[in-house]
Amino acid sequence: MSLADRVLYPDFLSRIVTADEAAAMIPAGAHVGMSGFTGAGYPKAVPQALARLIQQQNTQGKPFKIGLWTGASTAPELDGALAQVDGIDMRLPYQSDPTCRKQINAGQMQYVDIHLSHVAQFVWFGFLGKLDVAVVEVAGVLPDGRLIPSSSVGNNKTWLDQADKIILEVNTWHNPGLEGMHDIYYGTDVPPNRRPIQMTEPHQRIGEPYLRCDPSRVIAVVKTHQPDRNSVYAAPDDTSNRIAGHIITFLQQEVKLGRLPADLLPLQSGVGNIANAVLAGLNAGPFENLTAYTEVLQDGMLDMLRSGKLASASATALSLSPAAMQDFNDRIDFYKERIVLRPQEISNHPELIRRMGLIAMNGMIEADIYGNVNSTHIMGSAIMNGIGGSGDFARNAYLSIFMTPSLAKDGAISCIVPMASHVDHTEHDVQILVTEQGLADLRGHSPTQRAEIIIEKCAHPDFRPALRDYLARARKSALGQHTPHLLGEALSWHQKYVETGSMR
């Protein structure tokens, strides 16, 4: 398909340039908002061209860096390419690229880890400074200049509204059938002018299918024809299946107790193998007519839509394996009736999450015996990826569930520890902890009661004696007995791992 078939706004045809020509329009030091959310809908050509330009400038002794803002993680063609030439000064709000991670943890790249629902409003408030350039992938342009979003929406609405200059990447690889799947809401405002968002159900549409932009600010249009970074997920293993089993059993019990309706409440699921295992368990389970209101739609939700277990799904991005992406394209009309893609300020909006009463299921790195959760840092100081949207959902969900295997690094690390080495979600936002060992329902329990439940239900048997011993001694000698800790050894497990490579 030619670019003329996708770009129907006549004035944009004169602005078609190469990726290298577009990259040359981005000045050093600029704040650049690029599309992309969890490996979907990110620009592919311009970032790589910009990386070549930066490398050339660096070779000539002219340091060249940009501030890079996105929706969430992107891909090697964007984060990786720019990081490898040392081209990013400040990165926000979320990343998962190994080169970025290495530079952040070496202190060579600044990184601001933000709740994903906060990013758009922080830009509107002016908290992050001026957005100079937006580089946004779209699937097409209508005759009146409106834009057909591609496989993610993320913060694209805000980038297009706020940037002084706009570069569009029109990716002809995307299925034209995407048109109509999106719901772009233009009703948000800044305080004191905010009004309630009129949405009560996940499948409800409150906006329009297209992105708007001021055509006069579009300085370049670039053609691409490349797929997204479609990741292959490992098949669920015994550990993830056991975690999934505990969650399914718990949800069944909640229905029997009258605390959940028979078709549950809208589901939110983080990304990864455990999340897919939980979705597979729900697909095979007793629940019918489910809905999802989440950030990312992954393979497991496509399976549930096809089986009919899931009636509809709302997200801000796709995150599919190659096989699932092929199925998505082959059945685009089927999925378009059941999937809505929204801006992340809506997909992650606390008002909507609380109103609809979500069941939020997210991964973690570790939890301590009192239920504080670390989802971002290794051994207290090294960032892994970022908080993403887990805090948006955990604080406001009807049920807040965090899950992880009980061990990491072939058993060298216990994921249940005396004190979390970094806290992203305090005990006040954590209701349920799950490992393959069991499920700890923490609702209505004091800190010491929580500790007893977490140790017995979630900790690996190899580490339970040491955790019991720590709690017992803390209850005898800690300064306060509400949340008793031995401050001199609360983080000693982590220190031992740093020194010896094992917590044992």
Catalytic residues: 295
Strand partners, 291: 312
Residue 58 CB-density burial (10 A; 0-12 exposed, 13-18 middle, 19+ buried): middle
By C-alpha distance, which of 60, 69, 130 is closest to 94? 69
DSSP H or E stretch at residue 361: strand 359-363
Q: Report the amino acid identity of residue 426.
A: T
Binding residues for CoA: 365, 385, 389, 409
- Pairing verdict, β 407-408 and 413-414: antiparallel
List C-alpha distances in Å: 175 to 245, 333, 459: 36, 11, 46
E strand spans, 123-274: 133-141, 147-149, 165-171, 218-224, 267-269
Helix extents (H) in 163-272: 238-256
Residue 90 CB-density burial (10 A; 0-12 exposed, 13-18 middle, 19+ buried): middle
In Å, the largest CA–CA distance within the chain is 77
DSSP H or E stretch at residue 485: none
